Amino acid sequence: MLSSLTTSQLAPCLLLVLLSWPGEGRPDTPVTDAQRKELLEAVKAEILSSLGMEQQPSPAQKASEEELQRVYQSYWETLGEMGGNSSQRLAEAEQRSRLHPGRLITLPRRGGGTGSGGRLQWYRAVFHIRAELTLARAELKVSRRILNGTTSALVGGEVQFKVGRRKRVKSAAWTDTNLAGTAEARLDISSEARKWMRSDGRRGLVVDVGVAVEDKGPPEAAPAVSLELELSKSRETYRVRAARSVKEDDCSEPGLCCRKSISVSFKDIGWTDWVVAPAEYTMHFCDGACPHNYRPASMHTQVKSRLHQVTKGGSPRPCCVPAAYEPMVLMHYDSRGRLKLTPFEDMIVSKCHCA
């Protein structure tokens, strides 16, 4: 699923970025609409080229919710492993997603019936939520397919739920859906999920679901259980990253070498139909003059700067260039309509110096 792209593959893009901005040593000037348009076109062309595409794909069919959630999970895991996309905006980290349990466990029959000649069959679902995310909302959804008959037999009845280690049983009514022969029940478990994350967040969130089944007749299919979440990164994570970003972006001395930034939105580019994540990212680049002994990358830089002074411009002076990078991971559809992840190595500049 993963293929890496290096800085050398992205060099033309970065060059175009630099050419579209104010020259070295000049005071900062506002970005014009024309310059921004050039930048976005450069980004589009280089990303497509790096992905081996001549034009943006138009996926005929989108991934299923289950596939989308699986790749989203890999996306966040890859970001964690690579330390990428750390300069994205806060809004990017806010996400809505649907979790599916690895498998639905049928629990042994418990005592007690439903009072209508049937019994209550319990199922157990285990959901894994990343501990570093802040839970805004959690809603449990149970869907049930009726093979023989209509959903009217279910509507009005209830599904029972037990969340985590709590003994309290909650219930929600079955409702009809627009899909023929399908009923669903929804229950807001935000409070229970938050308590679980505070006390036992390293383990999976266990949810037991009890549905009425007939004692007679063929075995009924297990219901489909999913957890719909609204998540965001913790405020502390962003406070630390924001402080680090401000430090690296210190351009307090006009015209001198520093890291500058511009937000690139895939919505503005018109790529939201095939780029799933991130929604946007902050592109950083290095620009500005390099006077003697200013942010030198090495002793060689200082010698180079001194030589430029001695020869009165006869030898090249140090240039403002990237000192460190971080990767960006792109979650996208390829030319065959498959959902995949592509890490771009060394794409986002995290620090600048003179070399």
* pLDDT tens profile 83-110: 645 544 333 444 566 677 767 888 886 6
CA distances 191 to 40, 132, 169, Å, are 43, 17, 14
Which residue do the tokens 């009425």 mark? 212
Q: Is residue 190 part of a domain?
A: yes
Question: Do 127 and 192 share a domain, yes or no?
Answer: yes
Q: Is residue 8 part of a domain?
A: no
Please compute the mean of the pLDDT values over residues 72-87 and round it to a whole number.
Answer: 68
Q: Is residue 269 part of a domain?
A: yes
**Which CATH number goes with the domain that contains 173?**
2.60.120
**Which CATH number goes with the domain that contains 39?**
2.10.90.10
Give the residue, 114 or 273, on which the prediction is more confident: 273
Mean pLDDT of the chain: 74
pLDDT at 241 exceeding the cut of 70: no
Question: Do 183 and 306 share a domain, yes or no?
Answer: no
Question: Do 272 and 296 share a domain, yes or no?
Answer: yes
Question: Do 186 and 288 share a domain, yes or no?
Answer: no
Please compute the mean of the pLDDT values over residues 287-309 and round it to a whole number.
Answer: 92
Q: What pLDDT sits at residue 32?
A: 72
Q: Give the residue from 146, 165, 168 showing the smallest Cα distance to 157.
A: 146
Q: What pLDDT sits at residue 153?
A: 52
Question: Do 37 and 128 share a domain, yes or no?
Answer: no
Question: Do 102 and 208 share a domain, yes or no?
Answer: yes
Question: Do 46 and 66 share a domain, yes or no?
Answer: yes
User: What is the residue range of 133's domain?
Assistant: 95-110+118-148+156-232
Q: Is residue 15 part of a domain?
A: no
* DSSP 8-class letter at 12: H
**Domain count within the chain:** 2
* Among 127-141, 222-236, 247-261, the least confident range: 222-236
Question: Do 125 and 179 share a domain, yes or no?
Answer: yes
Question: Do 68 and 106 share a domain, yes or no?
Answer: no
Q: Is residue 5 part of a domain?
A: no
Q: Is residue 243 part of a domain?
A: no
Question: Do 211 and 300 share a domain, yes or no?
Answer: no
* pLDDT tens profile 20-32: 344 444 445 556 7
Q: Give the contacts of 136 (CB within 8 A, at least 6 positions apart).
A: 94, 190, 229, 230, 231, 232
pLDDT at 302 exceeding the cut of 80: yes
Q: What pLDDT sits at residue 76?
A: 75
Question: Do 208 and 267 share a domain, yes or no?
Answer: no
Q: Is residue 251 part of a domain?
A: no
Q: What pLDDT sits at residue 320?
A: 96
Q: Give the contacts of 78 (CB within 8 A, at least 6 positions apart).
A: 2, 84, 329, 341, 343
Report whether 192 contacts 135 (CB < 8 A).
no
* pLDDT tens profile 242-290: 444 444 556 778 889 999 888 888 888 889 889 988 888 888 889 899 9
